[in-house]
Amino acid sequence: MSPRRAISGGRIDRLRTIRFTFDGRPFTGHAGDTLASALLANGVTLFARSFKYHRPRGVLTAGIDEPNALVTVLSGAVREPNIPATMLEIYDGLNVASQNRFPSLAYDVGALNQLGSKVLGAGFYYKTFMGPVIGPLKGTRFWMFCEWFIRRAAGLGSAGLEKDPSRYERMNAFCDVLVVGSGPAGLIAAKAASDSGARVMLAELDATPGGSANWSGETIDGLPAAEWAAETLRDLKARENVRVLPRTTVWGYYDGNTLSAVERVADHRNTPAKGEPRHRHWTIRTQSVVLATGAFERPLVFPGNDRPGVMLAGAALRYVNQYGVLPGQKIAIFTNNDSAYHTAEALKKAGAEIVAMVDVRDDTSVAGREIAREVGGEYLAGHAVVATEGGAQVSGIKVQRINAATGALSGDPRSIHADCLLVSGGWSPTIHLASQAGLKPEWDNDLQAFLPPKPTQNWVGAGAFNGSFSTEKAISEGHAAGLTAAGATDGKADELPSVDADAFDPNPAPVFEIKAKGKAFVDLQHDVTADDVRLAHREGFVSVEHLKRYTTLGMATDQGKTSNIPGLAIMAETLGKPIPDVGTTRFRAPFAPVSVGSLAGERYGDIRPERLTPMYDWHVENGAEFYAAGLWHRPMIYGLSGESVEQAYVRETKAVRGGVGLVDVSTLGKIAVQGPDAGAFLDRVYTNMFSTLAIGKARYGLMLREDGFVLDDGTTWRLGEHDFLMTTTTANAGKVMQHLEYLLDVVWPELKVQLTSVTDQWAGAAISGPKSRDVLAACVTGTKVDNDALPFMGIVYGEIDGAPVMICRLSFSGELAYEVYSGAGHGTHVWQALIKAGEPFAIVPYGLEALGTMRIEKGHVTGAEIDGRTTARDLHLDWMLSKKKPFIGSAMMDREGLVAEDRLQLVGIVSLDNRPLNGGAHIVEELDEANPHGSLGHLTAACYSPSLGKYIGLALVKGGKARQGTRAFISDPLRKRFGPVEIVSHHFFDPEGSRMHG
Amino acid sequence: MVEQESPLKPVWKPGTRGNFSDGVGVYLSETAPGSIVQLAAWHGEEKAIIAAIKKVAGLTLPDGAGGGAATGTKAAFGFAPGKFLVVDEQEGLVAAFAKSVKTETGTVTDLSHGRTAIRITGPKAEWVLAKFFAIDFSLTAFPVGAGRSTVHHDIFAQIQRSAPTQFDVYVFRSFARSFWTALCHASEEVGYEVK
């Protein structure tokens, strides 16, 4: 038998033993245990070392508010730090390590930090890392050197460096009513909403829905509350219109009643089921929300309040009633309200000895006094605990008389022997989500707590969330909230379950801190003491927002769930103001830590989808190396064994210029522009005329932005009277589509034009080179392809190996060339037929590198030159600017700055030292390697030109037109490439275009 | 006539995979229709297009956003104001509509090669699709026959509920393999069969 496991009681399965390890030591627990309850049952009280001072810490709470007992879960090489032991369900093989200690939890070197605690107070980092302003270390980096050690000494757990192999998923959900919290209020709300026909989701952050019913020990509808909750849950789960999500933390409340939640799907199992995610992130869009999130108990602030063995009284009630675990054998209780009396009763019943009931109030209730008498031990009304005794475990407490109204202590302290001290400082409703979807919280002087704010979204609260702490009230409010949320009115309130429970007065005495000598902690997770709060005040941090940032109170993984109100109360007292006048910080999302994996979801390891052309598999099988071009994967080269990239593209280029080559151009953006006004529309969006284009012809077109700069270029083909096929550059397809849709939707809604992305409808294969016509002639049926039938920019329809094709004669390479379009599903079929027909002509497939080389040789522009800063004139495309009609950009393109002679203009660059050039290198007049300066512009593209036998490039150079024929230098300090170049015309190769017109 | 090649060819693996503790959750398939045609009505001509769909495809569409109808071989649904997708097992639908839809009524665009139709059917179809799309897939919000336009990451998708537990997802052909791979991955949890 475990030393602290009660003989009976609890909702654990005592017949199932679970084996796990903590810091390498084997332990056992039972199914239904958390790590905290199982370790407590084994008599473990030391769980962690504190953040700053490395003080020994135990477990303070039994839930998500736990500030102390954070552990690291080890799974293979993966470590997940900062998991509250109170939220971690044990399973066979669970392996857990404690945090922030060296070499072990019991003997920790970092505990020496406590000796320096005088200087480690609030603002330590801010003061320290400014560095000495006087003395021998002034101006040195010595403090930066120290920082490494100091930062190492502080902290929580450390994440591992291994890749997380877990699976995470995202899920979308829609419902009428989302109920957050499944205590009695939430269960009844869900039932009421479901009864009235609403689609309901019920989210519970714990493993076992039921909330306080799981540990209250009360009786509901004649059943023990936990059984009533289980029964109600069974009923709800069986309903078609209810979805219950246990282990699900609703962490954010966003506009439009959209809430975020994370479900810990498989954290309670050694291995997730096949295909099961570890965490599932829910985005829940709901009509309305019932917030039944309960309340958090507050600790009291007094010296030694962080010693292991000090625990919240409500947590102890949960340990004994839900897990059958006694937090100690000789238990003292220290409270400012009635709720802790209930705990005393339950512990006594489970076999613990209550050695003392210490209540700051003189005038305790009759019922309270009665319970105190029944549980035995000393009853010390009007007293306070002023210290705890012991080492890494409470061995006793010191008590002294207190005036609850003034906080003044009197008399001499005296010791009482105890191995556990349970504390209750009152209850704060869990208003975090409401705070994200409401106005400012409202202070309640009776409860000494903030109540939910007025909603700014469609939610309604119930139960302890509202400050209604009795179960009877929770049930009636839950019922009403469920009906309201569902938009129903005729619920049967008289049929609500009856509750048999002790009545207690939840209002605490307004005592938050016992001012006695010694370190009294407000924020246990960040080691912030009451003195730190006062120090911050003395140093001028009087706003609660500044207090939080300066002391770090309420930060870290628990976000101050146990410390915000006590910290605020101490600040208020220091300022001499009432608490509501000091204000409270707004609770922001997330309510509790959210795994990054669950936010990333399926995008983990798969940032973007792949976009593949119809011929992709052929390229792979034929040795292509790929580029990512946006989402597309495009062949770069088809390298032969042992070939470098340069050797491959030079070979491919020579093959095209000397014979014939085939390149996949399916990625070009293709937009069907249809309708009776299509021609007129194109005239408005292109700089040149399209309405006059004959059917069966294509034309090169240029588009400007409204501001006169170049947007995109491409060819547009007229397939019918009202039917055009526009092509765009691969990268700009989406941008152009948006631009055109905007114009039609907003600027010219009267035009009858329909746009459809047909990029994926067509496979495109460009066949180029002096022998390209011969290859087509060998395989195309149903049409001729000679110069008469298919002149430059002409379009014909035919078949290749039985597949319908549309062929347009146009050229990007400067060679005689054609683009062969087929249905995408026929793409590979047609491609293979072209390759086969080209075999007698030594056809080669070529990639983007060769394509790029040929376009540089021809001086054609792409996205590198159409970079959003260049005009048509800069790119020598002013011949395309129609003077007969206005078009998008025409009003702005002649602005002074856009026609200046010294603008960056497109030129060709020839390397004079026969070494490669790089895109991005600067062009300068004078070379100064030590102090590079005086950039005239930059290279946009570069290659080795097999046609010229030189390394060449295109560049945008200041006043480039006037510089043709002059010398300059490239200056590329990053890549240490400097050298002489000649500035020439961008038309390197066949400037007359005789080859492609031939 | 040359058969269309499926973009899913290398990742098409018939058979069952994943967790079958509760049986097969979803069946995944590619319907590979012969015709996928987009019709767009000029403002005020929507009813004329709906009439054309009835005449050519024999499907009666309800008047209203996202309405549609599906039979074993044909389907049609509205996916945007005045815009419809019409699908037929057989080829030749585009030619039929080209004759039937006048220039002054709207446009006909052939997408038979441009879109890939993926069918997901089974008791867990709604669950699996909810992993991808922020759409309410419940029968009340998304009735049989209706269509929706949505997006998963960068993948635009048009979805029709063609039966109570059956959805047809139309994605751009170039994205089909990526989407299919993700769909199989997401279906492992409930057990899936490719057929």
* Fold of domain B35-110: Alpha-Beta Plaits (3.30.70)
**A15 Cβ under 8 Å from any chain B Cβ:** no
With CB atoms and an 8 Å threshold, state whether B109 touches A275: no
Domains A166-297+428-504 and A672-757 share a fold: no
pLDDT at A603: 59
Q: Within a 10 A sphere around the Cβ of A362, how many other Cβ atoms?
A: 14
Residue with tokens 């799907």: A265
Instruction: Say if CB A666 and CB A614 are below 8 A apart.
Output: yes
- Please give the pLDDT value at position A122: 75
In three-state secondary structure terms, A400 is: strand
A505 in Cβ contact with A216 (< 8 Å): no
Q: What is the mean pLDDT of residues B143-155?
A: 92
Residue ranges covered by each domain of chain B: 9-32+114-194, 35-110
Fold of A1-163: Ubiquitin-like (UB roll) (3.10.20)
Q: Are A620 and A824 in contact (CB under 8 A)?
A: no
CATH number of A299-425: 3.50.50.60
Which pLDDT belongs to residue A980?
97
**B1 reaches A (C-beta below 8 A):** yes
CB contact under 8 A, A829 and B2: yes
User: Residue A584: its pLDDT value, please?
Assistant: 77
Residue recorded with tokens 């976009």: A611
Neighbours of A931 (CB within 10 A): 7
Q: Would you put residue A178 in left (φ > 0), alpha (ψ -120 to 50) or beta?
A: beta
The answer to whether B131 faces chain A, any CB pair under 8 Å, is: yes
pLDDT tens-digit map of B166-182: 999 999 999 999 999 99
pLDDT tens, position by position, B24-38 = 999 999 999 999 999
Residue B134 sits at φ, ψ, to 5 deg, of: -85, 65
Whole-angstrom Cα distance, residue A690 to residue A670?
16
Task: Kindly list the domain boundaries of chain A, sorted by start residue.
Answer: 1-163, 166-297+428-504, 299-425, 518-589, 620-667+760-860, 672-757, 900-992
Name which of A603, A756, A759, A779 to mutate to probe chain B: the one with the most chain B Cβ atoms within 10 A of its Cβ: A756
Q: Which CATH superfamily is domain A620-667+760-860 in?
A: Probable tRNA modification gtpase trme; domain 1 (3.30.1360.120)
In CATH terms, the superfamily for domain A166-297+428-504 is FAD/NAD(P)-binding domain (3.50.50.60)
Give the architecture-level CATH label for domain B9-32+114-194.
Answer: 2-Layer Sandwich (3.30)
Closest CA–CA distance from residue B170 to any residue of chain A (Å): 12
CA of A620: which chain B residue's CA is closest? B10
When scoring A265, A279, A283, A760 by the number of chain B Cβ atoms within 10 A, the one with the most, hence best to mutate, is: A760
CA-CA distance, A174 to A171, in Å (whole number)? 10
Q: Who among B18, B40, B130 is closest to A171 (CB)? A: B130
Give the pLDDT confidence of A276-321 residue by residue, as tens digits. Answer: 999 999 999 999 999 999 999 999 999 999 999 999 999 999 999 9
Nearest residue, CB atoms, B114 vs list A610, A722, A761: A761
Tokens matching residue A634: 């495009």
Alpha-carbon separation of residue A127 from A14, A50, A121, A143, A843 (angstroms): 54, 22, 10, 11, 73
User: Which pLDDT score, from 0 to 100, does residue A332 have?
Assistant: 98
- At A217 the pLDDT is 95
* A676, A762, A820, B29, B117 from B111: Cα distances, Å: 20, 9, 18, 19, 11
**Quick one: DSSP state of residue B61?**
P
From CA A725, how far away is CA B110, in angstroms rounded?
A: 12
Instruction: Determine the length of chain A.
Output: 998
Q: What DSSP designation does A118 have?
A: T
| Spans of chain A, pLDDT less than 70 | 1-2, 119, 125-126, 128-131, 150-154, 491, 493-494, 602-607, 998
A654 touches chain B (CB under 8 A): no
Closest to A95 in 3D by CA, of A111, A75, A112, A78: A75
What integer pLDDT is reported at residue B65 of this predicted model?
82
**Whole-model pTM?**
0.93
Kindly report, residue by residue over A676-724, the tens digit of the pLDDT.
999 999 999 999 999 999 999 999 999 999 999 999 999 999 999 999 9
The chain B residue lying nearest A630, using CA atoms, is: B154
Question: Hey, which residues 475-534 in chain A have their CB within 8 Å of chain B?
Answer: none
Inter-chain CB proximity A631 and B188 less than 8 Å: no
B-chain CB neighbours of A763 within 8 Å are 113
Indicate the angle between helix axes A366-375 and A339-350, nearest 10 degrees: 20
Give the pLDDT of residue A129.
66
Question: Which of A761, A762, A832 is the best residue to mutate to test the B interface, defined by the most B CB atoms within 10 Å of its own CB?
Answer: A761
Q: How far is B124 from chain A (nearest CA, A)?
A: 13
> From B173, which residue of chain A is nearest by alpha-carbon distance?
A760
Topology of domain A900-992 in CATH is Elongation Factor Tu (Ef-tu); domain 3 (2.40.30)
Evaluate whether the domain defined by A672-757 bears CATH number 3.40.50.300. no
Given CATH 3.40.50, say whether it is the number of domain A518-589.
Answer: no
Cα–Cα distances in angstroms (integers) from residue A510 to residues A427, A507, B23, B63, in the given order: 12, 9, 59, 65
**Predicted pLDDT of residue A645:** 96
CB contacts under 8 A, A 601-630 vs B, are 602-603, 606, 608-614, 617
Please indicate whether, in this complex, the C-beta atoms of A169 and B131 are within 8 angstroms of each other. yes
> pLDDT at residue B116 above 90?
yes
- Residue A932 tokens, joined: 């590079």
Q: Which residues of A touch B151 (CB under 8 A)?
A: none
Q: Which of A986, A831, A976, A849 is nearest to A908 (CA)?
A: A986
> What pLDDT is recorded for position A120?
73
* Per-residue confidence (pLDDT) for residue A157, from 0 to 100: 84
B111 to A170: CB separation less than 8 angstroms, yes or no: no
Helices (H), A442-556: 471-486, 530-538, 544-551
Chain A: give the shortest CA distance to residue B189, in Å.
Answer: 4
